[in-house]
């Protein structure tokens, strides 16, 4: 085993890559000498996309898990709060470190931060958070793809991904450890009130939790397409928050599930959709705040604060929508099919700007990802470069029985739990404590189509 006595330390700048295995920045730094692992909480960097409450809860536990893993190697995680480039530069001065290693990130604020760091420090960026580096899957003419299907076809040709790297065998400490904040002092966890009880029941953040979640999914991967749309069945992988925080890489997931057979290719395409979302935000950095289709700038969205609040609280009178919104509030997550139904309801039944939904999901989802969140909302709203047509309006009262959501509704809307299935999805007379529909489906559909027609005429 090579000795690194007297070698110059390197910084590993952790962000959304909070793992030891298949972490190219960490592996490279460890091979060269002492390692200083650093996480900087820079709330000013992302401005209106600073991490929401659910993400901050997850981050606290993920950082604690990473620090515990590093300590097994005699290392530790250095925490700083403030400007990324200022703190990284300060740590270099304090320790004599001459290089910062990090994984590529594609959110606009992280790309800005990388440029700022590279102006004064030697920054070495590595790949590893996606199946392929964003911006490298190109058309025959050398242009980035805008539409998912041809993007996925091209990406699929490059699969399987590069084999994942093992965790380092050793992490040499630096001669001088820089000062670190205490994680508890960051106040990432809710206290008054503590609304995270459901989060603690549902999730185990950290690398070990991610691997356990993958182990659980492997045996179900072959039936992914048959089960993923059934809210009452554990059909999805629930790996999304672990992937977002980089506690596991897609290259680690791919070989475990790719040979499962059955409908696992549908799951693999969902990993591809995650890559596609990064490809989109590289082309359109403001995708989370601006319509990709300019015509929709003329759509007359409604300023409906009571409607928005009813949607946020799961009090719309549409059981499948309300179940999803309550699951989101309780656990920080929502079933994939129900996300589409709830998003469509906000945009088309209530005719509320998709950006209101994007902001709410950003604050309440533990897997709130800038690329995926923006791409999915613009797909639903019909405003995206690749999107569903606005005039295709989901009917929640039809979707609910179609995807056998009765058990799901009973769990999250207990006011309706006593109703038989034929009444549960659309109670004609709402039982005590449950609201009447805030808008009738037919009237909402007609209003949305009229707004779309008016947009085309303006």
Start-end of H helices in 345-384 = 354-364, 370-381
- This prediction has a pTM of 0.97
Class of 1-129 in CATH: alpha beta
Mean pLDDT in consecutive groups of 10 residues from the start of the chain, 458 residues: 70 98 98 98 95 98 98 97 98 97 98 98 98 97 97 98 96 97 98 96 98 97 96 95 98 97 97 98 98 97 98 98 98 96 98 98 98 98 97 95 97 97 94 96 97 94
User: What backbone torsions phi and psi does residue 37 show, to the nearest 5 degrees?
Assistant: -85, 130
Q: Which residue has the tokens 């002092």?
A: 185
Considering the candidates 186, 254, 273, 329, report the single residue annotated as catalytic.
273
Residue 301 falls in the annotated catalytic set: yes
Q: Please give the Cα distance from 367 to 378 (Å, whole number).
A: 17
Q: List the one residue out of 38, 31, 45, 43 whose CA is nearest residue 13.
A: 38
Q: Please give the Cα distance from 349 to 394 (Å, whole number).
A: 9
pLDDT at 5: 62
What are the tokens at 16? 């959304």
CB atoms within 10 A of CB 161: 22
Residue 203 falls in the annotated catalytic set: no
Of the CA atoms within 13 Å of residue 401, those in its CB half-sphere come to: 10
Considering the candidates 152, 354, 362, 412, report the single residue annotated as catalytic.
354
Taking CA atoms, 128 is separated from 72, 212, 384, in Å, by 23, 20, 27
pLDDT at 4: 58
CB atoms within 10 A of CB 189: 16
For CATH 1.10.579.10, the residue range(s) in the chain are 294-457
Residue 270 falls in the annotated catalytic set: yes
Long-range contacts (CB closer than 8 Å, 24 or more residues apart) made by 225-230: 225/262, 225/263, 225/266, 225/267, 226/262, 226/263, 228/266, 228/267, 228/336, 228/337, 229/336, 229/337, 229/403, 230/337, 230/403, 230/404, 230/405
Yes or no: say if 370 and 284 are a contact pair by the CB < 8 Å rule.
no
Considering the candidates 94, 226, 270, 415, report the single residue annotated as catalytic.
270
pLDDT at 458: 85
Considering the candidates 112, 225, 336, 388, report the single residue annotated as catalytic.
336
pLDDT at 3: 45
Instruction: Fill in the DSSP letter of residue 147.
Output: S
Considering the candidates 186, 254, 301, 329, report the single residue annotated as catalytic.
301
For CATH 1.25.40.80, the residue range(s) in the chain are 130-164+198-283
pLDDT at 2: 47
Radius of gyration of the chain (CA): 23
CATH of 130-164+198-283, one of 3.40.50.720, 1.25.40.80, 1.10.10.10, 3.40.50.1370: 1.25.40.80
For CATH 3.40.50.620, the residue range(s) in the chain are 1-129
Considering the candidates 110, 203, 377, 379, report the single residue annotated as catalytic.
377
Q: Please give the Cα distance from 352 to 355 (Å, whole number).
A: 8
Question: What is the CATH number assigned to the segment(s) 294-457?
Answer: 1.10.579.10
Q: DSSP characters for 201-243? A: HH---SHHHHHHHHHHHHTTGGGHHHHTT-TTS--S---HHHH
pLDDT at 45: 95
Yes or no: say if 150 and 139 are a contact pair by the CB < 8 Å rule.
yes
pLDDT at 114: 98
**Cross-strand pairs, 81:** 41
CA 456 from chain centre, in angstroms, equals 33
Q: List the one residue out of 229, 234, 243 whose CA is nearest residue 271.
A: 243
Beta strands 99-103 and 77-81 are: unpaired
Helix (H, G, I), strand (E, B) or coil at 274: helix
Taking CA atoms, 394 is separated from 130, 311, 375, 398, in Å, by 31, 16, 18, 8
Taking CA atoms, 41 is separated from 18, 209, 239, 374, in Å, by 13, 23, 24, 23
Residue 273 falls in the annotated catalytic set: yes
């Amino acid at each position: 085993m090579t000795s690194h006595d007297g070698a110059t330390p390197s910084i590993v700048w952790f962000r959304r890559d909070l793992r030891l295995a298949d972490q190219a920045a960490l592996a490279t730094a460890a091979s060269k000498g002492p390692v200083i692992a650093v996480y900087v909480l820079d709330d000013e960097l992302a401005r209106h996309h600073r991490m929401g409450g659910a993400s901050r809860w997850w981050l606290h536990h993920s950082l604690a898990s990473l620090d515990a893993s590093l300590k097994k190697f005699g290392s530790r995680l250095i925490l700083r709060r403030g400007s990324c480039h200022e703190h990284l530069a300060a740590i270099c001065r304090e320790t004599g470190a001459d290089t910062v290693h990090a994984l590529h990130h594609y959110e606009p604020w992280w790309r800005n931060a990388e440029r700022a760091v590279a102006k004064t420090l030697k920054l070495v960026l590595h790949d590893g958070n996606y199946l392929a580096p964003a911006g490298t899957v190109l058309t025959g003419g050398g242009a980035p793809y805008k539409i998912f299907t041809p993007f996925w076809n091209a990406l699929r040709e490059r699969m399987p991904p590069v084999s994942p790297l093992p965790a380092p065998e050793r992490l040499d400490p630096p001669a001088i450890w820089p000062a670190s904040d205490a994680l508890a002092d960051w106040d990432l966890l809710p206290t008054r009130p503590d609304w995270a009880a459901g989060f603690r029941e549902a999730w185990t953040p950290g690398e070990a939790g991610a691997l356990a979640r993958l182990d659980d999914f492997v045996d179900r991967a072959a039936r992914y397409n048959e089960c993923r749309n059934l809210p009452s069945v554990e059909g999805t992988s629930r790996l999304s928050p672990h992937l977002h925080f980089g506690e596991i890489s897609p290259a680690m997931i791919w070989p475990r599930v790719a040979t499962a057979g059955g409908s696992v290719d549908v799951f693999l395409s969902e990993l591809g959709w995650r890559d596609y979302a990064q490809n989109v935000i590289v082309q359109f950095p403001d995708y989370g705040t601006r319509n990709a289709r300019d015509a929709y700038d003329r759509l007359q969205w409604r300023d409906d604060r009571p409607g928005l609040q009813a949607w946020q609280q799961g009090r719309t009178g549409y059981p499948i929508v309300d179940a999803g919104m309550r699951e989101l509030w309780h656990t920080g997550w929502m079933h994939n099919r129900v996300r589409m139904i709830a998003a469509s309801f906000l945009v088309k039944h209530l005719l509320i700007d998709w950006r209101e939904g994007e902001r709410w999901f950003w604050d309440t989802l533990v897997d709130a990802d800038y690329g995926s969140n923006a791409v999915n909302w613009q797909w639903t709203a019909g405003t995206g470069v690749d999107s569903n047509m606005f005039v295709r309006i989901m009917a929640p009262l039809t979707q609910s029985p179609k995807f056998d959501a009765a058990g799901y509704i009973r769990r999250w809307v207990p006011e309706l739990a006593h109703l038989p299935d034929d009444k549960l999805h659309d109670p004609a007379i709402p039982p005590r404590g449950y609201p009447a529909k805030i808008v009738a489906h037919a009237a909402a559909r007609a209003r949305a189509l009229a707004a779309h027609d008016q947009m085309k005429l303006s």
